[in-house]
A and B are shown apart, each in its own frame.
Chain A
Amino acid sequence: MHFSLTEEQRLIVDTTREFVANELYPHEAEVEATGRLRPELRDEIKRKAIDAGLYAANMPAEVGGAGLDTLTWILYERELGRANYALHWTCVGRPSNILMACKGDQRERYLLPAVRGERSECLAMTEPGAGSDLRGMKTRARQEGDDFVINGSKHFISHADEADFVVLFAATGEETSARGNRALITAFLIDRGTPGFQVLEGYKSVSHRGYSNCILQFDDCRIPKSQVLGEVGRGFEVANQWLGATRLQVAATCLGRAERALDLATRWAAERQQFGQQIGKFQGVSFKLADMATELKAAELLTLEAAWKVDQGTVTDSDMAMAKLKATEMLAFVADEAIQIHGGMGLMSDLPLERIWRDARVERIWEGTSEIQRHIISRALLRPLGA
């Protein structure tokens, strides 16, 4: 393993960072203050992102993406992650890789328009009664002839209000396993506007202002079986095949924000004068910076190594769990310390620190909580010993 970036990777990092600084940062204050991303602003930035080839760059070249390898994709995510979430996620969309499971005319109806930025998707798994325990989901799809009839509700569904269609995970049966009966899950593609499918306003979240979460309600929503993504009863396999690396995506966006927070804190420590000297000359402040930089680097190495291993085909579930765990917990620490170094000013919305600090909170929860990641890591250690 070597640790230097290729010429292409360096260029991709530079051009993404430049786009984020020029096109996203100037609108952060508005989105944070109003809690909303204006549709006109969204469309304007989205157009620029498409022109710059940044939109859907995570997707393979054969479907119109940039064809980045995982490591390069993660470097690009790190740069996007520096900005307000609503801005980078909505305007510089990265369609879910799960759409690569589209077959036949699903490709033309869902996959390709998503890559072109004409349609966007959301993913619906979580339910009020099924968070970390996804197999406990209650949303059911009952087969009736050539149709499925769906009933149930989902919540915390990110950007469902923006989405044109949903990738829905619903139980279509049960299987008997060593640990008792478990739901068999199927993935479906469901268009907004399908009768019996409603998108309701979700909750107000402390993290990621302007980026909504919604409640999805299904009441006898009838869809033809051609809307199944992958195979019936194999929804988890589809998800595992395509969504594994989203934990690295979370880790990478955390690295970007932590870098920004550390940068602000370092500059402040060099500029701010108290007791006749720069506060960075006080060891109480300078050692904080040292610890922040060290934690950031550790998280970065874990994340980039896991991404590199994805490309080598040698990544383990544990590698990705470690990266996600470390990067999200590191961001919480770095954001908190950056505020401490700034003192009162760090809490004011004039600086991006208070929102980086708020936004950091959700990262330890979504895409698998820190506890789920620790469970994965510890099981990989203990399972071979029969414990």
Chain B
Amino acid sequence: MKRILVAIKRVVDYNVRIRVKPDGSGVITDGVKMSINPFDEIALEEALRLKEKGIVEEVLAVSIGTADCQQQLRTALAMGADRAILVQTDAVIEPLDAARIFRALCERETPLLAILGKQAIDDDCSQTGQMLAALWGRPQATFASKVEINGDVARVTREVDAGLETIEVDLPAVITTDLRLNEPRYVKLPDIMKAKKKPLDTLDPGALGVTPVERLKPVKFEPPPVRAKGVMVKDTQELIDALRRKGLA
């Protein structure tokens, strides 16, 4: 069966004002609204559209993390994914271990495409997709803003610093999504009721031959400095002088 594997990360909702724990050991997530990483939602939407075009028959949503990640996988199933796998662990998962887990699943599930968000809005690493492509030994097309599948080839328009770049990659491949690729659909109410009946399997990372290791040690989390109050100037001349003193004019 032709399928697409989509990565789903549980993150603090983008609307939430982030608060840092008083001891600086992380951000507060207790009682905070959690959602699917927005770039992963775009990845899922793209996979669903490719399924609707008849290019694949199945969309598989995969998340790695605590049991709570089931909530985001249920949302993915309600959006239209056919089945879901949670690789359940309480350990900290760094991009390399996430990529190793996805590689093991790609080998097991043999998807035509693995689509991931270009980065997660919590740590902004932007590494997992690239590492997965390298480990899996398949091509990558990152920061996609347009995806077309023709037979065994994906034609992907990428958002790069200089503008747009279009490349072709052989399938299977890894694609990471940029913001403008698509606009995710609303979850349909009747589909929410049906999502409960779709399969959601749970696996241990060990079952995929991965033992998560913490290679990075976060030293300290702190909120960005509060924006300083503005300064009032009398006239343009004073403004220009002030800018000059700061080396800005």
Select the stretch in B97-105, B182-190, B213-221 that faces chain A.
B182-190
Are A66 and B193 neighbours in the complex by a CB distance under 8 Å? yes
* Residues on the B chain within 8 Å of A66, using CB: 189-190, 193
Q: Are B189 and A52 in contact (CB under 8 A)?
A: yes
Contact call B190/A12, Cβ cutoff below 8 A:
no
Complex CA distance for A85 and B78, rounded to whole angstroms: 28
Contact B190 A61 (CB under 8 A): yes
A7 & B187 in contact (Cβ 8 Å cutoff): no
Interface centre among B185, B188, B195 (most CB of A within 10 A): B188
A53 and B71 within 8 A (CB): no
Question: Quick check: A8 and B196 within 8 Å, CB to CB?
Answer: yes
What is the CA–CA distance of A61 and B193 in the complex, to the nearest angstrom? 10
- A237 touches B (CB below 8 Å): no
Give the contacting residue for B187; candidates A15, A61, A67, A76; CB below 8 A.
A15
Interchain CB contact under 8 A, B193 and A18: no
Q: How far is the CA of A10 from the CA of B195 in the complex (A)?
A: 13
A92 to chain B, nearest CB (A): 11
Residue of A nearest to B186 (CB): A52
Instruction: Kindly name the residue among A12, A61, A76 whose own CB sees the greatest number of chain B CB atoms within 10 A.
Output: A12
B75 within 8 A of partner (CB): yes
When each residue 194-232 of chain A gets 1 if its CB lies under 8 Å from chain B and 0 otherwise, what string results? Answer: 000000000000000000000000000000000000000
Is B78 a contact of A11 with CB atoms below 8 Å?
Answer: yes
Contact B189 A57 (CB under 8 A): yes
Contact with A along B187-219 (1 / 0, CB 8 A): 111111101100000000000000000000000
Please measure, in the bound complex, the distance between the C-alpha atom of A76 and the C-alpha atom of B74, giving whole angstroms: 19
Residues on the A chain within 8 Å of B196, using CB: 7-8
**Bitwise interface map of B from 117 to 142 toward A, beta carbon under 8 Å scored 1, else 0:** 00000000000000000000000000
Chain A, Cβ-Cβ closest to B74? A7
Q: Which residues of B contact A16 (CB under 8 A)?
A: 189
Q: Which of B70, B189, B195 touches A53 (beta carbons < 8 Å)?
A: B189
Decide: A7 and B71 in contact? CB cutoff 8 A.
yes
A269 at the binding interface (Cβ < 8 Å): no
Which residues does chain A contribute within 8 Å of B189, judged by CB atoms?
A: 12, 15-16, 52-54, 57, 66, 68, 76
Q: Total number of A-B contacts with CB less than 8 angstroms?
A: 51
- Chain A contact-residue range equals 20 to 34
Task: Give the distance in Å from the alpha carbon of A65 to the alpha carbon of B191 in the complex.
Answer: 12
A61 to B75 CA separation, bound complex (whole angstroms): 21
Within residues 43 to 95 of chain A, which ones have a CB less than 8 A from any CB in chain B? 51-54, 57, 61, 66-68, 76
B interface residues, tally (CB under 8 Å): 16
In the complex, per-residue mask of A1-25: 1 if CB is within 8 Å of any chain B CB, else 0: 0000001101110111011000000
Residues of A within 8 A of B193 (CB): 8, 61, 66-67
B186 touches A11 (CB 8 A): no
User: A11 contacts B187, CB within 8 Å?
Assistant: yes
Q: Tell me if A12 and B186 are in contact (CB < 8 A).
A: no
Residue of B nearest to A9 (CB): B192
**Best-buried of B70, B71, B185, B192 by chain A (most CB within 10 Å):** B192
Q: Which residues does chain A contribute within 8 Å of B192, judged by CB atoms?
A: 8, 11-12, 15
Closest residue on chain A to residue B191 by CB atoms: A53
Residues of chain B contacted by A11 (CB below 8 angstroms): 74-75, 78, 187, 192, 195
Which residues of the other chain, B, contact A68 by a CB distance below 8 angstroms? 189
A18:B75 contact, CB within 8 angstroms: no
The residues of A that contact B75 with a CB separation of less than 8 Å are 11, 14
Chain B residue with minimal CB distance to A76? B189
CA distance A12 to B185 in the complex (A): 14
Nearest chain A CB to B4's CB is how many angstroms away? 22
Q: State A66–B187 Cα separation when bound (angstroms).
A: 13
Minimum C-beta distance from A335 to chain B (A):
23
- In the assembly, what is the distance between CA of A57 and CA of B195, in Å? 16
Chain A residues with Cβ under 8 A from B191's Cβ? 53
Evaluate contact between B78 and A52: CB separation under 8 angstroms.
Answer: no
**Complex Cα distance A12/B192, Å?**
7
Q: In chain B, residues 68-115, which have Cβ atoms closer than 8 Å to a Cβ of chain A?
A: 70-71, 74-75, 78
- A53/B74 in contact, CB under 8 A: no
Given contacts A8-B193, A8-B196, contact A15 B74 (CB under 8 A): no
How far apart are B52's CB and chain A's nearest CB, in angstroms?
A: 14
Given A8-B193, A8-B196, A67-B193, A52:B188 Cβ within 8 A:
yes
Shortest distance between the CB of A311 and any CB in chain B (Å): 15
What is the interface of chain B, defined by CB distance below 8 A to chain A?
A: 70-71, 74-75, 78, 185-193, 195-196
List 25 A-B residue pairs with CB atoms under 8 Å apart, sorted by A's residue number: A7-B74, A7-B196, A8-B195, A8-B196, A10-B71, A11-B74, A11-B187, A14-B187, A15-B78, A15-B187, A15-B188, A15-B189, A15-B192, A16-B189, A19-B186, A51-B186, A51-B188, A52-B185, A52-B188, A52-B189, A53-B189, A54-B186, A66-B190, A66-B193, A67-B190
Identify the A interface with B (CB < 8 A).
7-8, 10-12, 14-16, 18-19, 51-54, 57, 61, 66-68, 76
**Cβ-closest 8 pairs across A and B:** A53-B188, A53-B189, A52-B186, A15-B187, A66-B189, A11-B192, A53-B190, A57-B189
Given contacts A15-B186, A54-B189, A57-B189, 10 further A-B contacts (CB under 8 A): A8-B195, A11-B192, A14-B187, A15-B78, A18-B186, A52-B185, A53-B190, A66-B193, A68-B189, A76-B189
